[in-house]
Structure 1
Amino acid sequence: MAPAFHDFAHTLTSGDLPEDVLRVLRRSFTDTMGVAAVASTTQMADIARRGALALFGVGGAGGSRILMHGARVSPAGAAMAGAFTVDAVDAHDGTSPCKGHAGSAVFPALLALTDAMPEPVNGAEFATLLAIAYEVSYRAGLAQHATCADYHTSGAWTAVGVATACARGLGATPEQIRHAAGIGEYHGPRSQMMRCIDHPTMVRDGVGWGAPSGVTAAYLACEGFTGAPALTCEDAPSFWADLGTNWRLVEDTHYKPYPCCRWAHPSMDAAADLMREHALHHTDVAAVEIKTFHNATRLAGHSPATPDEFAYSIAFPVAALIVRGQVGVAELHEDTLRDPDIQRISSATTLIDDPHLTSISDGKRWAEVSLLLQDGRRVSAAPRTPRGDVDMPLSANDIEAKFHLFADPVLGEPRAQELASLSGNFDHLSASEFARLRDLCLSAP
Structure 2
Amino acid sequence: MPLITEVLAEHILVTSRRQPSCDDRNMALKCVLDLVGAAIAGRDMPGPTAVRATARALMGAGSSSIWATGQTASLAGAVFANAAAASALDLDDGHRLARGHPGAAVIPTVLTLLPETSAGANDLISAISVGYDVGVRIASAQMPKMIATRQTGRWASVAAAAAAARLLRCREDQVAHALAIAAVLAPNQQANGSSGYSQLTGNDVKEGIAWSATLGLAAVQLAIGGHSGPTDVFDHPDYYNRQTIVADLGERSHLVGTYFKPYACCRYIHAALDAFLMLVDRSEIDASDIKCVEVETFGWALKLGNKRRPTTLVDMQYSLPYCIAIAAIEGRDALAPLGEDLLGREDLSTFSEKVLLSINDEIDALFPGETLARVTISTSSRRLCSEILGPLGDPKHPMSFEAIEEKFLRVTRRVLTPERQRQIVGGVLDMPDDHGSGLLMALR
Q: What is the TM-score when the length of structure 1 is the normalising length? A: 0.91
Matched, 1:9 2:12: yes
1:89 counterpart residue number: 89
1:191 counterpart residue number: 189
How many pairs align? 432
2:223 counterpart residue number: 221
Q: Distance in 2 between matches of 1:336 and 1:85?
A: 20
- Structure 1 residues 338-353: aligned runs within 5 Å: 338-353=344-359
- Structure 2 gaps of 5+ residues are none
Amino acid in structure 1 at the alignment position of 2:231: P
Q: Which has the higher helix share?
A: 1
| Cα deviations by residue, 1:194-231 (Å, 9 ceiling, x for unpaired) | 23786221111211111001000000000000011263
Answer whether contact 1:67 1:108 (CA < 8 A) is retained.
Answer: no
User: What is the DSSP-based 3-state SS (H/G/I as helix, E as strand, rest coil) of the residue aligned with 1:89?
Assistant: coil
- Structure 1 residues 160-309: aligned runs within 5 Å: 160-192=158-190, 193=193, 194-195=195-196, 199-229=201-231, 231-232=233-234, 236-239=241-244, 240-250=246-256, 252-299=257-304, 300-309=306-315
Q: Distance in 2 between matches of 1:27 and 1:277?
A: 30
Q: Distance in 2 between matches of 1:27 and 1:151?
A: 29
Answer whether contact 1:14 1:128 (CA < 8 A) is retained.
Answer: no
2:49 counterpart residue number: 46
Q: Distance in 2 between matches of 1:126 and 1:103?
A: 14
- Structure 1 residues 37-436: aligned runs within 5 Å: 37-58=40-61, 63-115=63-115, 117=116, 119-145=117-143, 148-192=146-190, 193=193, 194-195=195-196, 199-229=201-231, 231-232=233-234, 236-239=241-244, 240-250=246-256, 252-299=257-304, 300-328=306-334, 332-373=338-379, 375-430=380-435, 434-436=436-438
Structure 1 residue 327 displacement after superposition:
4.4
| Cα deviations by residue, 1:302-331 (Å, 9 ceiling, x for unpaired) | 111110100111001111111122144676
Q: Distance in 2 between matches of 1:267 and 1:329?
A: 13
Answer whether contact 1:63 1:73 (CA < 8 A) is retained.
Answer: yes
Q: Distance in 1 between matches of 2:11 and 2:323?
A: 42
- The CA RMSD over aligned residues, in Å, is 2.2
Answer whether contact 2:29 2:428 (CA < 8 A) is retained.
Answer: yes
User: What is the DSSP-based 3-state SS (H/G/I as helix, E as strand, rest coil) of the residue aligned with 2:387?
Assistant: coil
| Cα deviations by residue, 1:371-418 (Å, 9 ceiling, x for unpaired) | 121x24321112221111101112333211101112233121111111
| Cα deviations by residue, 1:155-196 (Å, 9 ceiling, x for unpaired) | 221111211221233332101100000000000112133237
Q: Distance in 2 between matches of 1:331 and 1:174?
A: 42
User: What is the DSSP-based 3-state SS (H/G/I as helix, E as strand, rest coil) of the residue aligned with 1:52?
Assistant: helix
Deviates more, 1:219-228 or 1:351-360: 351-360
Deviates more, 1:175-184 or 1:399-408: 399-408
- Structure 1 gaps of 5+ residues are none
| Cα deviations by residue, 1:128-177 (Å, 9 ceiling, x for unpaired) | 21112111111111112567441331122111121122123333210110
Q: 1:158 to 1:149 in 2, by over 3 A?
A: closer
User: What is the DSSP-based 3-state SS (H/G/I as helix, E as strand, rest coil) of the residue aligned with 2:374?
Assistant: strand
User: What is the DSSP-based 3-state SS (H/G/I as helix, E as strand, rest coil) of the residue aligned with 2:343?
Assistant: helix
| Cα deviations by residue, 1:78-106 (Å, 9 ceiling, x for unpaired) | 11111111111111110011110011111
Q: Distance in 2 between matches of 1:83 and 1:230?
A: 28
Amino acid in structure 2 at the alignment position of 1:28: C
Name the % identity: 27
User: What is the DSSP-based 3-state SS (H/G/I as helix, E as strand, rest coil) of the residue aligned with 1:291?
Assistant: strand
Deviates more, 1:126-135 or 1:320-329: 320-329
Q: 1:396 to 1:114 in 2, by over 3 A?
A: closer
Deviates more, 1:298-307 or 1:224-233: 224-233
Deviates more, 1:313-322 or 1:336-345: 336-345
User: What is the DSSP-based 3-state SS (H/G/I as helix, E as strand, rest coil) of the residue aligned with 1:98?
Assistant: coil
Matched, 1:25 2:28: yes
Answer whether contact 1:22 1:127 (CA < 8 A) is retained.
Answer: yes
Q: Distance in 2 between matches of 1:232 and 1:406?
A: 39
Structure 1 residue 125 displacement after superposition:
2.1
Amino acid in structure 2 at the alignment position of 1:389: D
Q: Distance in 1 between matches of 2:414 and 2:349?
A: 27
User: What is the DSSP-based 3-state SS (H/G/I as helix, E as strand, rest coil) of the residue aligned with 2:12?
Assistant: helix
Structure 1 residue 288 displacement after superposition:
1.3
Q: Distance in 1 between matches of 2:122 and 2:368?
A: 35
User: What is the DSSP-based 3-state SS (H/G/I as helix, E as strand, rest coil) of the residue aligned with 1:350?
Assistant: strand
Deviates more, 1:400-409 or 1:6-15: 6-15
| Cα deviations by residue, 1:314-360 (Å, 9 ceiling, x for unpaired) | 00111111112214467622121233432221122111133332222
Structure 1 residue 274 displacement after superposition:
0.8
Q: Distance in 2 between matches of 1:13 and 1:233?
A: 25
Q: Distance in 1 between matches of 2:388 and 2:331?
A: 21
Q: 1:198 to 1:376 in 2, by over 3 A?
A: farther
